[in-house]
Structure 1
Amino acid sequence: MATQAYLLLYNTAQALGWSAALATTVRSIVVNGGSLAAVYGDSGWFVRTFQVASVLEVFHAGLKLTRTPMSAALMQWAGRTHVLIAVTHAIPHLQTTAAAGILILAWALTEVIRYPSYALSQSCPGWLNWLRYTIFIPLYPIGAASEMKLMYDGIPTMTAKKMYSISMPNAYNFAFDYTSFVKVVLILYPFLFYQLYAYMFVQRKKKLGPSTRKKED
């Protein structure tokens, strides 16, 4: 009972946070005549706060409070948070790009459906459940493409500033080149995205398949 109350509180808080992010995003686009340039500046605080806080979902999965595989929860959280904090927030000129605005819009549209469906759980209405397992079809690829675009566009700045890199020699005899790391991530990203995307289609079949509809009838 306590677990259900906690998850209800968590998912409700996330739903409200992402609703605020979506509302400020839409307002920003309308006020600026359709431009996406100010979206990050207007909505970034909400997005950063609630995206970072979603690390709790990794622990929820690890503690079996939810049915989501821990690997899927970790992969999604780490990928999103890296692009948001380590790349976009750290490189100011990326924040005014169309990719940043599209990214926030795609994420917010996804989450204002996902979290309410989690909060309502067993009493989730059919239309919301359908949206939950359908809207990801266009939005996930749009979000992933935006993430890759932001990382790619950030490479020149990462290289010039040697961001997060560790040079030799040092006391630990260890070197790390962040630009090379990002390039490897960009190569692997389509494959990692495919795993998550395929997992969502499996879940869609389970939630919206004929057997599920028969149970509801």
Structure 2
Amino acid sequence: MSAPVMGSTKKPFNDGDQHNHKKKKGAGALATAYLVIYNVIMTAGWLVIAVGLVRAYLTRGSYHGLYYSIEKPLKFFQTGALLEILHCAVGIVPSSVVLTGFQVMSRVFLTWAVTHSVREVQSEDSVLLFVVAWTVTEIIRYSFYTFSLLNHLPYLIKWASS
């Protein structure tokens, strides 16, 4: 966290916090409404992926090959995170474009350049591990952002995100 300059009224914020959704100067009701909609859609998308994983596991009775049951929504919603770089670039979230870019692009790279492009990787257990980790993380993260923007953060979401 950076410290405010002596004599200034500028409040510090954590550059490493990808989405500190406290409104930046100039980001108004329209930006907040857009961010709420974006975060609700992303939460719903990751919930779809979670349900797809559970349904496929219950149907197959095994975790092998579950990637194929969630491949399309995973690609769509992981790629949709590219908008987060734009959010930083235009200033509607006070996060570093570079840090957010690295975070998002590493996942997009793993999704498209590795998992999509190398067929053999798709049936590996490691794919299931990172997809499950992403799914749990993203449901909590996007829920946290949504409720924070609405100034109504349930204790469970706050606890899960800390």
TM-score (norm 1): 0.58
Report the equivalent of 1:78.
105
Which of 19, 31, 47 is 1:3 aligned to?
A: 31
Name the CA distance, whole Å, in 2 between partners of 1:54 and 1:30: 29
Q: Which amino acid aligns with 1:21?
A: I
* 8 Å contact from structure 1 (residues 36, 96) kept in 2: no
- Is it true that 1:21 corresponds to 2:49 in the alignment? yes
TM-score (norm 2): 0.77
Bigger relative contact order, structure 1 or 2 (CA pairs below 8 A, ≥6 apart)? 2
Name the CA distance, whole Å, in 2 between partners of 1:132 and 1:68: 18
Report the equivalent of 1:126.
155
Report the equivalent of 1:30.
58
Percent identity, aligned pairs only, is: 27
Q: SS of the counterpart of 1:123?
A: coil
Greater CA radius of gyration, 1 or 2? 1
- Is it true that 1:112 corresponds to 2:139 in the alignment? yes
Report the equivalent of 1:57.
84
* 8 Å contact from structure 1 (residues 88, 94) kept in 2: yes
Name the CA distance, whole Å, in 2 between partners of 1:67 and 1:118: 13
Instruction: Quote the offset at 1:31 in angstroms.
Output: 2.2
Name the CA distance, whole Å, in 2 between partners of 1:88 and 1:13: 24
Report the equivalent of 1:12.
40
Which of 72, 93, 114 is 1:66 aligned to?
A: 93
When the two chains are superposed, the root-mean-square deviation of aligned CA atoms in Å is 1.2
Q: Which amino acid aligns with 1:19?
A: L
Name the CA distance, whole Å, in 1 between partners of 2:157 and 2:94: 19
Instruction: Quote the offset at 1:56 in angstroms.
Output: 0.5
Q: SS of the counterpart of 2:94?
A: coil
